[in-house]
Structure 1
């Protein structure tokens, strides 16, 4: 009997999604997560409060969640904010881009969903009768040791409680600081943007009208992303709450973080040119430093990296999770297809993993460098120079007038 067990380290959205897809295909999976198991009460507390963080799910990610039987639960929760327009503009010049129904073939461009809402839907789906017999959940367990036994056997994983698990295929889905990547000896290329992103939730004077907005400022990007209405007061006055991701030089971000919430709100409103009027309320203020990173290789014998363990990009286009979900799709398709072609004898072959890497690493590299170039173009050291300003002004103006190009950009953003 062949060993076709898969071990996934990292129980976040990307890792849990891969576990669910493999379980749907009746593949044995163990999902290992260092975070403790959440009770129903824990989930309720997490869902009762508004999270300033939000994922801008592309149509490709939404379609994958539908296939997994997860999107139905997210929709039923009414904790998603669909957007049908995307408005991008620059403060120091002419030209703006507006993606909307008459540009994109789909009336829906994407949906903003809070992390806990997606994680809860995945957790619920993993308990369903058709998949639960194929998934072993190991929560609250840190991995103490990884050992590559052989190409035939795969990896032996030792948990903090002494439990040992052997799997033919080991998947690292354990985030930017991936222990799996480090233990496998895979190097990391990094780029420090010397920027900090301020995140918060704001209530604006004017409604967002299902539009995701992004102002390209000389100091960095400022994104205003629709949030779901969760309270009775929200629903009585809908579409006024939004998630903010404001990219700034580190020193400027720290100055603003030292201000009062009211002062920060006023600075935010001014920075986006009062696009939606004054900011009436602000909450859940947080920050994180920005960098881009990419593993020099996504795979080794019996091992693959997905999501943030493999790559991390600038948040200016909100594509981080979407790239991870495309990893999940590509890897699961490659594994299942090659397993079938082998007569159901060979699981997780190195040739399958290399094919996955060839599908995903070039695309992720292109996206990472594109976002870095855009960040440099608008907020880099030469961004204020006259030639670069002129390049931005002419570029945005001309692109906005070319409808086929706008459709192409909308399709790329959808991930389809």
Structure 2
């Protein structure tokens, strides 16, 4: 089985999901996580706090997490906010896109579109899965260590990896799941195309006067997008008066965002409420204000001999549609399916072969490229100086209005966004 050994570098959600999926298939895998190992108390302390960030998990992502046993733990914890509608509108324009709207026949809402979950909640569910006795024979987790050297030993043997505590690990297949600044990608000599949007996103958690009613909202503003995403109710007070907490991702020109961040939380809350045209009323509380610069990137190749990139190590997109993690989890699904399929049909002899990795790249890279450029085009269409020119405004208004009236097209968009 040593010839089938897989080493995953990066213990985030994407890397941990792949490790758990392979171990559950009874294939040996080692996961390297640079973060120190957390105890149950560490996790309990972390989960007591509300995280301003939230992932909009698609139905495809929910299915993958369910298949590896993580979604059941998330659902049992109650730390999720399902959404059945998505509302997209533009300020000073016509047309509104409403996905998952009431069908108008029997007053029932359409089916679940996805679920908003805080990062730590997903990470904890995966951590519990990684500790399960059922995978202990096949899974090794090394926490608190970084890779300092990668040496390719030839296609027959794969990679020899050295950690910062001098531990040496041999692996037939090396998986880079180590984020946007991927050490694996750099050491493999794989180039990167990048795009700087010159925007900064302010993220925070807010409590609003009106409930979100299981609806994810996105306002397309001249300064950038403003997303208001449902957050789970975590305190007894929240549960007594539910659906009033939202996760905010507010995209602004970089200088404007940095100026706002020097002001008081109350100032930011008031500006935020005004920017949303008081869609959910006034903001009574604001927590966990943070920011990050917006860029997009795509690796020139997702593969090399005995090496493959997944998640942010391979691609990063504008957060406009909240699809970053979903794209990474689709990488996990496609890669694991192809690895297991080729392994089975080869009589348990073929693992991580070049033809397997090339097929994974053909299935995922064009799709991820399309998503990245589509989000960039939407950002350009709504934000910035050119977006405010009257011809662009007219095209945008007419386009949104007409699309909103074509129900089959809206259903197609909803299906594509779900990833299934």
TM-score computed with the length of structure 2 as normaliser: 0.98
Q: CA RMSD in A?
A: 1.1
Corresponding residue number in structure 2 for 1:265 = 269
Q: Are 1:401 and 2:401 counterparts?
A: no
In structure 1, how many angstroms separate the alpha carbons of the residues matched to 2:247 and 2:363? 32
In structure 1, how many angstroms separate the alpha carbons of the residues matched to 2:198 and 2:383? 11
Counterpart contact for 2:59–2:113, Cα < 8 Å: yes
- For 1:161, what is the secondary structure of its paired residue? coil
Corresponding residue number in structure 2 for 1:370 = 374
Map 1:52-201 onto structure 2 (within 5 A): 52-102=52-102, 107-201=111-205
Counterpart contact for 2:270–2:283, Cα < 8 Å: yes
Segments of 5+ residues of structure 2 without an aligned counterpart are none
Aligned match of 1:207 in 188, 208, 211? Answer: 211
Q: Are 1:218 and 2:222 counterparts?
A: yes
Counterpart contact for 1:2–1:345, Cα < 8 Å: no
Superposed structure 1 runs of 4+ greater than 6 Å apart: none
Counterpart contact for 1:92–1:218, Cα < 8 Å: no
- For 1:98, what is the secondary structure of its paired residue? strand
Q: Are 1:413 and 2:420 counterparts?
A: no
In structure 2, how many angstroms separate the alpha carbons of the residues matched to 1:271 and 1:254? 16
Q: 1:28 to 1:260 in 2, by over 3 A?
A: same
In structure 2, how many angstroms separate the alpha carbons of the residues matched to 1:97 and 1:25? 42
Deviation of the 1:2 alpha carbon: 5.8
Corresponding residue number in structure 2 for 1:229 = 233
Counterpart contact for 1:2–1:346, Cα < 8 Å: no
Segments of 5+ residues of structure 1 without an aligned counterpart are none
Counterpart contact for 1:8–1:19, Cα < 8 Å: yes
Deviation digits for residues 238-282 of structure 1 (CA, Å, limit 9, x no counterpart): 000000000000011011111110010000000010000000000
Q: Are 1:11 and 2:15 counterparts?
A: no
In structure 2, how many angstroms separate the alpha carbons of the residues matched to 1:381 and 1:351? 46
TM-score computed with the length of structure 1 as normaliser: 0.99
Aligned match of 1:389 in 393, 396, 400? Answer: 393
Corresponding residue number in structure 2 for 1:329 = 333
Counterpart contact for 1:293–1:313, Cα < 8 Å: yes
In structure 2, how many angstroms separate the alpha carbons of the residues matched to 1:358 and 1:338? 16
